[in-house]
Structures are given as structure tokens and as C-alpha cells.
Chains A and B, each alone.
Chain A
Amino acid sequence: MTPLEILSATILGEPTPRVPIFCNLLDQGARTLNMLPKQYFSKGEYVAEGQLKMLKHYGHDNVWSASYVGKEAQLLGCNKILFSNNGAPNVADFVLKSWADIENFVIPKDITQHPQWESIGDCLKILHQEVGKTHPICAYVTAATSLPVILMGMDKWMELVLVGPTDLRDLLVKKCSDFVQQQLSAYRAAGANVIIYANPFATTYFLPKKLVVDWSMPWMQQDLKGGIDNIVFYGGMAPINTVTELVVDKLNINIFYPAPEDDLIESKRFIKGNGLTSGVLDDIKMIHWSPEQTRNEVKRIMQLGKPGGHFLFGTGFMPMALPEENIIAMLEAAFEYGSYE
């Protein structure tokens, strides 16, 4: 079976030789091609080449079309990204300087015609040609209720959500939701077959449950009115178990990517034998583990997750500080302990 077939069968609860193994290598692509991140992320061809080289080198199941989260801000007018040689690029200039800018904030009519889409489109074209029939190709889309964080900063957005004028808050979310819907269509059309739909502002780590139910969920329904095919709900590394049942109930999503802190047994219980949930290794702790500690943690996650199937092994967004020997130990252990044979 190809990795894509294994993933599809796992979601359906059909027999597979092993657990799907997702390893989210993004920033490491530059190092793989001996480039600085700014150069690496400048062209879709480079990102695709980096992804394919890492796939060959490590042998995990998935590739990534997204270059970095700040790309969404660039599609919405951000002109300054702070690149680092040691980690993920960071939004360095907010599109919305104050709440007053929301009124005139405009989203592109067609993001696929935006110059910033070019590298994403180019990357996806290559990945689709090379591994589209065999491997999951992941894309990252930030939900409308969380997207303003990269447009105005977390604190300004949190303030607007909690104590600001609700009409202004919802005007911005409406614009963001239109953008999210465009992104989802564009990614699907370009060949992404796994869409990580990230919404920290739909978790009770960020907001009170009432606000999640009354405000976040309806906007998620709006974001996803084009369908939930290939959608994976992700809390942006915030725990999601407290909202998983709600997401199943309100949105019919049944594929989840929890945080390492989430209790895996609970995560599995919430999906009720449908779809898929993931055991996510804490790759920040892994920076300072030995290869043996890494193997033990993979074994532990697999032992918890495998019974009953509908289970994927995954990582966070692998920090660049991770030692190579730990990445290799993790993947070796994942294939060994993830086997059903």
C-alpha cells in the first residue's frame, strides 16, 4: 500500500500494514538544500525540492506545500517577514495596525492571482506531479477566528474578541472567512489532499467554552461551507480534547490532530471509531532527549494509539534544533512499533 492508501484505509477503519506516520518537516528544507531560509522560501520549486529530498531521506509519509504560516499574512498584504536561520519565519509587520483599519481591510478577489500565491502554486504543482498519487500532500489553513492574530497580533485580537465592539470583530472574521474559503478551494484545486485547519480560537485553552460554542463554531461552519473533505481539525498545538465532541457534532469533522498534552485514550474515545485521531509526539522535549528516550516515547504513543486503529502517528512542527539522530530514531521506532503485522 502507498502512504496515501494507508492513510485513506486508516480513516475508513480498513486493515493496513502499519500506522500512517506524519513528520512535519518544514524549516529543515533550507538546510537540506544548503540554502538560507529567505532564499529557500522565495521559490516554490525550492520548497518542493526540499520536501521531496527530505521524504526520500527520512521515509515518512507526508509532504508539505505550506512554506510558513506568515504566507497567509503576505497574501493579505503583509510586506515584512522576519527570517531566521534557526527557525520559522515570523510576521514582522502587522497589516492591521489598529481596530480602525478593519473597515477598509480588503481581501484579494482571487488569491491564486496574487503574486504571493505563485510559490505555493508552483510547489504544489511539482509535489502533485511527483507524489500526488502516492503520498499525502499537506496544506495549512488558519481558521477565520484565528487568522486575525497574524494580521494584528495576538493581544490586539484577544482584546477585540473579548471586550471590543462585536460588529467590528465579526466584520473582520467575515472577511477572513471569505479568505479561508478561497484558500481551501485553491489548495484543493492545486492538489493538496490533507488540509490542516488550525483554530486555536476554537479551543478552551484560549477561550471560554461558551464563546467557542456561540461564536467560534458558527464561523467554522461558515469557513467550511464548501465541504469538510480532507479537513483535519488542529488547535495550533493547544489541547483540543475538550472541544472534539463539539467539532464532531457541529461540523461533522472526524479527523483530528490533537496536542501532545491531550490524553490519547480520550482522543480516541471522542471519535467513536470513526475517522481518525493522532498521537502527537512532543518534539520540543525531543530536542533534549537521547535517541533511546525518543524510541521509548514513540513506543508509548503507539501502544496507546494502535488498538482499534483509526490512528495516526505525528509530530509538532519539528524545531530546527532537533538532533538528526533523534529524528532518525523517532522514524525507525515509528515504523517498528507502528506495524500491525
Chain B
Amino acid sequence: MFESYIEDYNEAVYEIDKEGAIEVVEKALQEGVTPEQVVFDIIIPSIEEMMAEIVINADTNLAQHFMTAQIAAEVTEKMLAKFKIPPEIIGRVIFGSSHGDLHSLGKRIVIGCLKSMMIEVIDLGVNIKAEDFVNAAVEQEAQVIAISSMMVHTATGEEGSSRVRSLLKERNLEKQIKIVVGGAPFRFDHELYSKVGADNWAADGVTAAKMIKKLILEVKT
């Protein structure tokens, strides 16, 4: 029975059927599945499933990534309010688009995935200065700064990830705070992340969330 919820939910997400996905969750709750099970046994595995699908199936698209993340975040938020014991948060991320960059789609995809993976996100918005990323990370005791850039000059510019790296170095924070970057320019040049001083990058939102989780756990151990 439980397997059918997973199957139906995944199918709805894959078909970008938001209403269908929510109906599956509601049906599961009515039939005795707990909110905790919904998050940990349906939503998170669904994200993992999409990740696996990206690797083997080149036909997955941005629309599916976007809706997977949005549905996951929405359902998770609703379920968290119903948890018997508040879940343990894995870690904290400061998120924003780099200075001069006003794009927000990629950011929303990754944030959606992170929220459903029990990672707290502080979204600074778009067009964020390097200093603001670092100051927020220190104030909020975040383990990762995630910087989204959709244009070459904002990805490689002096006010982007490179500057965040310099600031972390100057303030001796490199062990406590890691940098992850993403966005179109990094998709074209897979080595670009290291040239702008980031610790890692990801080609899509779902993989980015997993990457960020890994870095958080590294910092915390």
C-alpha cells in the first residue's frame, strides 16, 4: 500500500501535476500515514529519485526540477507543522544571487529541495554583495554560502564568489563556511567553480541540494 503512495507521488511530480501530488499526500494522511513518513519516506526519496533520473534520462527538464522542488517544499512545510516532535535541522545555508544578477529561478529550485531535506535556508534575495553573504553567514552561523549566477560577468566578477572567498580567507573562516555556486555559466565550464574560489558546484537544483548537504556535514564533523 505504502509503495503505491510513493509511486503515485513520483508519477505526479514527474508529470508536473502539482494537484495530483498533493492529492496523493492528502490521501496518504487520511489513510493513516504520518506527516513524518510523508516527508522522510515519500518526499525526500522522490527528490533522490529525480536525481537518479537526471543521471540516466537526458529528457528530464527544468520544468520538472522546478516543480519537484516547489511541490516538495510546499508539502514539507505543511507536514512540518504537523510533526509530533520538531525535526532536527541538519544545517543552515545563506542563499542569494550574486552581485549584479537578478535571476531567481535556479535559487528557488535549490531552496525548495533544501527545505524538504531539513536544511534551513536564509534567502538574501538577488543582487547580493559579497560582504552581505559573509556577514549573514557569520551572524546566522551558517555552514554554506550558496551563490547563484546566471551571467558570466556576475559568476566571474570581482564582487561574486571570488570576493566571498577572499573575505572568508581574510577573516579566517574557510574551515567553518563553504561556498557552493550554480547557474548557467558553470554548466558550460565545469571547472569554472574552482576558478571563482568555490568549493563545489552542481549542474541542477536537485544535485545542488545534495552537494550542499554533504558540505554541511563535512563542516560539522
Q: Give the interface of A toward B (CB within 8 A).
A: 82, 84, 86-88, 90-92, 153-155, 158-159, 161-163, 204-209, 211, 237, 242, 260, 282, 284-285, 287-288, 316, 319-321
Q: Provided the pairs A155-B108, A163-B18, A206-B62 are in contact, do residues A87 and B191 lie with their beta carbons within 8 angstroms?
A: no
Q: Does B59 contact A (CB under 8 A)?
A: yes
Q: Which residue of A lies closest to B191 (CB)?
A: A288
Is residue B167 within 8 Å, beta carbon to beta carbon, of the partner chain?
no
Shortest B198–chain A CB gap in Å is 15
Q: Considering only CB atoms and an 8 Å cut-off, how many residues of chain B contact the other chain?
A: 31
A161 to B61, alpha carbons, bound, how many Å? Answer: 14
Interface pairs (8), CB distance under 8 Å: A88-B151, A92-B102, A153-B103, A154-B103, A154-B104, A319-B156, A320-B152, A321-B153
Q: Which of chain B's residues have a CB closer than 8 A to the CB of A92?
A: 102
Residue-wise interface mask of B (57-68) relative to A, using a CB-CB cutoff of 8 A (1 in contact, 0 not): 001011110110
| B153→A320 contact, CB < 8 A | yes
A159 to B104, CA, bound (A): 12
State whether B104 touches A153 (Cβ < 8 A): yes
10 extra interface residue pairs, beta carbon distance < 8 Å, beyond A163-B67, A288-B189: A86-B153, A86-B157, A87-B152, A206-B63, A207-B63, A209-B59, A237-B188, A260-B188, A316-B188, A321-B153
Evaluate contact between B104 and A158: CB separation under 8 angstroms.
no
Residues of B within 8 A of A207 (CB): 61-63
Indicate whether A321 sits within 8 Å of B104 (C-beta atoms), given known contacts A211-B63, A284-B185, A284-B189.
Answer: no
A158 and B157: CB pair below 8 A? no
Interface residues of B in 145-203 (CB under 8 A from A): 151-154, 156-157, 184-185, 188-189, 191-192, 195
Bound Cα distance from A336 to B63, whole angstroms: 42
Question: Which of B67, B108, B184 contacts A162 (CB under 8 A)?
Answer: B67
A237 cross-chain contacts in B, Cβ below 8 A:
184, 188
A-B pair count, CB < 8 Å, reads 94
Closest to B71 in A: A163
A-contacting residues, B74-130, CB 8 Å: 100-105, 108, 127
Q: Which residues of B have CB within 8 Å of A319?
A: 152-153, 156
Docked pose: A163 CA to B66 CA in angstroms = 11
Write out the residue numbers on chain B whose beta carbons fall within 8 Å of the beta carbon of A321: 152-153, 156
Contact A90 B151 (CB under 8 A): yes
Residue of A nearest to B190 (CB): A285
B67 to A90, Cβ gap below 8 A?
no
Given A209-B59, A321-B156, A84–B188 Cβ distance below 8 Å?
no
Bound: A78/B103 CA distance, A: 16
How close is B125's CB to chain A, nearest CB, in angstroms?
A: 12
B16 near A: Cβ within 8 Å? yes
**Contact between B153 and A158, CB atoms less than 8 A apart:** no
Q: Are B154 and A87 in contact (CB under 8 A)?
A: yes
List of B residues within 8 angstroms of A84 by Cβ:
100, 153-154, 157
| Cβ contacts under 8 Å, A206 to chain B | 61-63
Closest chain-A Cβ to B99's Cβ sits at a distance in Å of: 9
Chain A residues in 8 Å Cβ range of B102: 82, 90-92, 153
The smallest beta-carbon distance between B180 and chain A, in angstroms, is 19
A242 contacts which chain B residues (CB < 8 A)? 59
Q: A103 → chain B, closest Cβ, in Å?
A: 23
Q: Which residues of A contact B63 (CB under 8 A)?
A: 158, 161-162, 206-208, 211
Assembly CA distance A319 to B156 (angstroms): 10
Alpha-carbon separation in the docked complex, A169 to B61 (Å) = 20
Chain B residue contacts of A154, Cβ below 8 A: 103-105
Chain B residues positioned under 8 Å from A158 (CB to CB): 62-63, 66, 105
C-alpha gap A262/B108 in the complex (Å): 27
Residues of B within 8 A of A284 (CB): 152, 185, 188-189, 192
Q: Which of A88, A91, A282 interacts with B189 by CB under 8 Å?
A: A282
Chain A residues with CB under 8 A of B195: 288
Are B189 and A208 in contact, CB atoms less than 8 angstroms apart? no
Task: List, in ascending order, chain A residues with CB within 8 A of B189's CB.
Answer: 282, 284-285, 287-288
4 shortest A-B CB distances, which residue pairs?
A: A87-B153, A319-B152, A284-B188, A154-B105
- Contact between chains at B64 and A208 (CB < 8 Å): yes
Q: Which residues of the other chain, A, contact B127 by a CB distance below 8 angstroms?
A: 82
- Chain A residues whose C-beta falls within 8 Å of the C-beta of B62 in the assembled complex: 158, 205-207
Complex Cα distance, B63 from A209, in Å, reads 11
Residues of B within 8 A of A87 (CB): 100, 151-154, 157
Q: Please, which residues of chain B bring their CB within 8 A of the CB of A205?
A: 61-62
Q: Are A90 and B100 in contact (CB under 8 A)?
A: yes
Residue of A nearest to B155 (CB): A284
B122 CB to closest chain A CB, in angstroms?
18
**Across the interface, which residues of A come within 8 angstroms of B18, CB to CB?**
162-163
Cα–Cα distance between A282 and B62 once the two chains are bound (Å) = 21
Choice from A90, A153, A163 contacting B101 with Cβ under 8 Å: A90
Nearest chain A residue, comparing its CB with the CB of B63? A207
B192 neighbours in A (Cβ, 8 Å): 284, 288
Interfacial chain B residues near A282, Cβ < 8 Å: 188-189
